[in-house]
A and B are shown apart, each in its own frame.
Chain A
Amino acid sequence: MTSGSLRFEGRDIPVREGDTVASALFRAGVRTFSRSLKSRRRRGLYCGTGECPNCMVTVDDVPGVRSCVTPAGSGMRVERGRGWPSTEHDLLHVTDLMHPLMPVGFYMKTFVRPRFAWPVAERVIRRATGSGPLPERREPTRTTSRHLHADTIVVGAGTSGLSAALEAAGAGEHVVMCDAYPVGSQVPPGRLLEAIRALETRARAEPAIEMLERHAALGLYDGPTVALASADELVQVHPRRVVLATGAIEMHEAFPGNDLPGVWLGRAASLMAAKHGSPVGKRVVAVASTEEGLEHLRALAGSGTNVIAAVVPAALVDEVPASAEAIADGELVSAHGPGRIRSVMVRERGQARRLRCDALVLSIGLEPRDELARMAPDEPVEIVGDAALGGAVPRVTGGTLCLCEDVSAHDAEQAWAEGFRSAEILKRYTTATMGPCRGAMCGRALAAFASARSGQADRAAAARTTARPPSRPVALETLAASVHEVIEKRTSLHQTHLAAGAELGWSGGWKRPFSYGNWREEYTAVRERAGLMDVGTLGKFLIAGRDATILADRIFPGRVADLAPGRSRYVLALDEAGYVADDGVLSAFEDGSHLLTSTSGGAEGMDARLREWTHRLGLHVHLLDRTSELGAILVAGPRARDLLHPLSDDPLDGDSLPYAGHGEVTVAGVTCTAIRTGFVGELGFELHHPRSRGPELWSALMRAGRAFDARPFGLDALELLRLEKGHLYMGQDALPDDTPVKLGLDRAVDMTKEWFVGKAALERLATTPLGRRLTGLTFDEGPEDAAVLRGMPVSAGGEIVGRVTSAAASPALGRSIGFAWIRTVDGELPADGLRAGEARATIAPTPFYDPGGERLRG
């Protein structure tokens, strides 16, 4: 029978086929599985079905594992988490004796003053509580996330769930069926398990049923959507109909001594005796008020467990096995220790009677697992089987109300006396129901307590606290499943860059070269000779159709209607609040269509904006997003034209293809739309080409560039090149509520146009004070590498008046330059006395480099 062993706190414990970690430990004599959260009371196996926190141990360095539902594996390392020096002998158990001194919320009341005491106290309290330390080093599990669509989802694979699934599948529906555990694993051997196995065989043979075992339903949401989690995936199921067959668990009552090791719920005792072959005690007292309880009683007796007495309703006395004394209509009063259960007090016909025992088995009612149904009351949910039961009302006479959070009935009484007088606020004050069982065990007891105190005993159910996801504990790494799913956008030149030794980094969803080793050399190449840059990441949109020009005219605040075919123009895009959302270059064609190139990071937003206004204005426009279909290479520098000449027969001179013009040219056999742009401030050709031709075009350009020592350049060089030229980076230099005038871009706005998006807002804002403005700065006496000034506050006379958004040492100017936004006073910028850190800052006109633009007109 033995199939290996697990390592438990320094000794080897044999594992049998079908064992759970808990059953292996129990067979080996372990009775105390954990210590309670606050009072450090001993806790033994109790529910046996993965609900209560008592059996939680650390398995292979993972704390908080429920040993009663975790299959035992050979070689597992198991430790008990709580207790010092050990769980068996826990000196902190003194806290239980000090309980009268530590009422609910005692630490919040006790350590709040003096203030400095709290961080110290919290650290001590943190060490004294919790379920054991988290592993310091552990590889994260790569969880995945997926969506499932189905006609019906059935939650819970018991008899009701399996029947419902078979019925739905029989009616031609596609059914997803889930259960937190393997089918039947929670059920002791007997008639019920046989019925489940018969249904399971049919369900597994039914192709329309998709069975997801070990998938716990965490929550029910609008839609409806049901979220499921397993150890390695998060599943969102979108059914038309939800069938909840979540069943019921055995009721948890709060009576004195109810948390002693040796107090068992019926299913746990039955599973341990009949399935794992370990009797739960030598002298067992059972309390059975349900049919299921009698079933457990028979299972215990049948497996040779010595049941000395059974407390049952009078009507069921005849069903008690002969070996046990039947106590008709008795009432369980209390259980007594110390350390584990040693006797119980039972009231029989008014007489209290003490029974010596070493185990107490309780089957006193059923609590439907109805959290999911209570989460989304408006959804098409059908509740079947035991989950639809009304449920009994548990007694609260003493002992532990909430096992997870270690809240006693006395604590609840005290909180009530302090004025916390409903289940909802009792929950918040005492944290009862907020532990790993998510209120499944104790939610009803808390509600029953509150209802009894408020004189509304009949409304126990109505006082339940709100059910919220997750209804079962779930690892954060499972919820973070989709975080791992990063989409990395690459241009057609990705491999080419890697081969050239480029340092790639993230930029607006793309992986782009930041440099090819030495960005200063790349900068110099562009300023003095020629450079190549992969700008295939730019957003590229073809705007065509009857109303193409109208759309462009409405969406951009600048003049568009007079843009002649073959010409390009810088455009801003505003939102309806008049704030600058993005910028780009618009090029007009003979046929009335336009090509818009927008910033790499803003491409998706630009596409959404174009489509939104086409829709809202009811225009007839065809919009084609060519971003991923077209590549683009920028050839820039004083020798750019010389570089292109040998590769093209088309005229590239300033008359045929002037600055801010565009045309179709064939370069190295590749047909390109060449746009004369000037972002870097030099003669430049942006060659837009079919993506698939990118690598060969790049190679041809690189070969032709050897004669001029041309270099590929990355974003690091571009940062300085564009800064010298006074061009903004929208995401870096602009703030979310910057208007064109604040950025000094009012030249790209024509307020005489009849209407454009954001015009009314700009008119309104023109009547209010400016607030701040983006301006160019030069720095003196500052650090050698002015780049460190970026992000620094700008001060004037000791008062902070702005912030540096870009800064760099400019080789072309021989000084440090930058951008900053600065507060205005009466519309004017402060004239002097500006500082950024150690540096003296002076407001300077932009562009810093080539203000007349002779170089880029070339």
Chain B
Amino acid sequence: MTLRIPCPNCGPRPHTEFSFGGQERPHTADDAEADFARVFLPDNDPGSARERWFHALGCRTWFELARDATTNRIG
């Protein structure tokens, strides 16, 4: 798999320059059970989802991205 990730600073770059930060999610939850789900049970649905990416070998910026997990289409 080779993805081209559009970094807001650097433009589209090969995915090997990036770290995947998981599905975008809130940083708090209402109770312990919800917090467990928040941390350990991502939706992992097929189709488009909001994700966090980090341009680790570039400008070291975090940003959000909508990617379709089935087709790899971005945006």
Interchain CB contact under 8 A, B2 and A612: no
- Nearest to A764 among chain B residues (CB) is B32
Interface membership of A577, Cβ < 8 A: yes
Interface membership of B61, Cβ < 8 A: yes
Interchain CB contact under 8 A, A611 and B60: yes
Interchain CB contact under 8 A, B54 and A612: yes
Residue A760 contacts which of B32, B56, B60, B71 (CB distance < 8 angstroms)?
B32
Residue A612 contacts which of B29, B35, B36, B62 (CB distance < 8 angstroms)?
B62
Given A576-B39, A577-B39, A612-B62, is A236 in contact with B14 using a C-beta cutoff of 8 Å?
A: yes
Interchain CB contact under 8 A, B54 and A608: yes
Interface membership of A607, Cβ < 8 A: yes
Residues in A neighbouring B40, C-beta threshold 8 A: 577
Given A577-B40, A608-B54, A612-B21, is A760 in contact with B28 using a C-beta cutoff of 8 Å?
A: yes
Interchain CB contact under 8 A, B56 and A608: yes
CA distance A612 to B61 in the complex (A): 8
The 7 tightest CB contacts between A and B, nearest first, are: A225-B2, A760-B35, A764-B32, A615-B62, A221-B2, A223-B2, A222-B72
Interchain CB contact under 8 A, B39 and A616: no
Interface set, chain A 549-579, CB cutoff 8 A to B = 576-577
CA distance A615 to B54 in the complex (A): 11
CA distance A378 to B3 in the complex (A): 13
Interchain CB contact under 8 A, B3 and A764: no
- Nearest to A225 among chain B residues (CB) is B2
Residues in B neighbouring A617, C-beta threshold 8 A: 27
- Nearest to B71 among chain A residues (CB) is A378
Interface set, chain B 1-60, CB cutoff 8 A to A = 1-4, 14, 19, 21, 27-29, 32, 35-36, 38-40, 52, 54, 56, 60
Smallest CB separation, A336 vs chain B (Å): 50
Smallest CB separation, A485 vs chain B (Å): 12
Interface membership of A96, Cβ < 8 A: no
Interface membership of A9, Cβ < 8 A: no
Given A222-B3, A223-B2, A611-B61, is A764 in contact with B56 using a C-beta cutoff of 8 Å?
A: no
Smallest CB separation, A10 vs chain B (Å): 48
Interface set, chain A 597-629, CB cutoff 8 A to B = 604, 607-608, 611-612, 615-617, 625
- Nearest to A554 among chain B residues (CB) is B27
Chosen A-B contacts, 8 in total, with CB atoms closer than 8 Å, are A225-B2, A236-B2, A238-B4, A576-B27, A576-B38, A612-B52, A760-B35, A761-B36
Residues in B neighbouring A225, C-beta threshold 8 A: 2, 4, 14
Interchain CB contact under 8 A, B29 and A760: yes
Smallest CB separation, A755 vs chain B (Å): 7
Residues in A neighbouring B52, C-beta threshold 8 A: 612
Residues in B neighbouring A576, C-beta threshold 8 A: 27, 38-39
Interchain CB contact under 8 A, A763 and B32: yes
CA distance A608 to B2 in the complex (A): 23
Interchain CB contact under 8 A, A223 and B3: yes
- Nearest to A758 among chain B residues (CB) is B39
B-binding residues in A (CB < 8 A): 147, 221-223, 225, 236, 238, 378, 576-577, 604, 607-608, 611-612, 615-617, 625, 755, 757, 760-761, 763-764, 767
Interchain CB contact under 8 A, B4 and A223: yes
CA distance A617 to B28 in the complex (A): 11
CA distance A625 to B19 in the complex (A): 18
Residues in B neighbouring A757, C-beta threshold 8 A: 27
Interface secondary structure of B, over-half rule:
mixed
Residues in A neighbouring B56, C-beta threshold 8 A: 604, 608
B35, B56, B63 — most chain A CB neighbours (10 Å):
B35
CA distance A607 to B1 in the complex (A): 27
Residues in B neighbouring A577, C-beta threshold 8 A: 39-40
CA distance A378 to B70 in the complex (A): 11
Interchain CB contact under 8 A, A616 and B19: no
Smallest CB separation, B39 vs chain A (Å): 5
- Nearest to B19 among chain A residues (CB) is A608
Interchain CB contact under 8 A, A611 and B54: yes
Residues in A neighbouring B19, C-beta threshold 8 A: 608
Interchain CB contact under 8 A, B3 and A608: no
Interchain CB contact under 8 A, A764 and B36: yes
Residues in A neighbouring B35, C-beta threshold 8 A: 760-761, 764
Interchain CB contact under 8 A, A616 and B27: yes
Residues in A neighbouring B3, C-beta threshold 8 A: 222-223
Residues in B neighbouring A764, C-beta threshold 8 A: 32, 35-36
Residue B1 contacts which of A222, A755, A760 (CB distance < 8 angstroms)?
A222
A236, A576, A625, A755 — most chain B CB neighbours (10 Å):
A576
Interchain CB contact under 8 A, A147 and B14: yes
CA distance A681 to B52 in the complex (A): 41
Residue A608 contacts which of B1, B38, B60 (CB distance < 8 angstroms)?
B60
Residues in A neighbouring B39, C-beta threshold 8 A: 576-577, 761
CA distance A625 to B61 in the complex (A): 13
CA distance A147 to B32 in the complex (A): 46
Give me 8 other A-B pairs in contact (C-beta within 8 A), A222-B2, A238-B4, A760-B28 excluded: A223-B2, A236-B2, A612-B21, A612-B62, A615-B61, A615-B62, A615-B63, A761-B39
CA distance A378 to B1 in the complex (A): 13
- Nearest to B72 among chain A residues (CB) is A222
Residues in A neighbouring B29, C-beta threshold 8 A: 760
CA distance A155 to B55 in the complex (A): 31
Residues in A neighbouring B4, C-beta threshold 8 A: 223, 225, 238
Smallest CB separation, B15 vs chain A (Å): 9
CA distance A607 to B55 in the complex (A): 12
CA distance A760 to B4 in the complex (A): 35
CA distance A612 to B62 in the complex (A): 6
CA distance A223 to B29 in the complex (A): 36
Smallest CB separation, A615 vs chain B (Å): 4
- Nearest to A578 among chain B residues (CB) is B39
Smallest CB separation, B5 vs chain A (Å): 10
Smallest CB separation, B58 vs chain A (Å): 12
Smallest CB separation, A150 vs chain B (Å): 13
CA distance A223 to B19 in the complex (A): 17
Residues in B neighbouring A761, C-beta threshold 8 A: 35-36, 39
CA distance A617 to B4 in the complex (A): 27
CA distance A757 to B39 in the complex (A): 11
CA distance A616 to B36 in the complex (A): 19
CA distance A222 to B67 in the complex (A): 13
CA distance A757 to B56 in the complex (A): 21
Smallest CB separation, A42 vs chain B (Å): 43
Smallest CB separation, B16 vs chain A (Å): 9
Residues in B neighbouring A760, C-beta threshold 8 A: 28-29, 32, 35
CA distance A763 to B34 in the complex (A): 13
CA distance A764 to B29 in the complex (A): 12
Residues in A neighbouring B61, C-beta threshold 8 A: 611, 615
- Nearest to B73 among chain A residues (CB) is A378
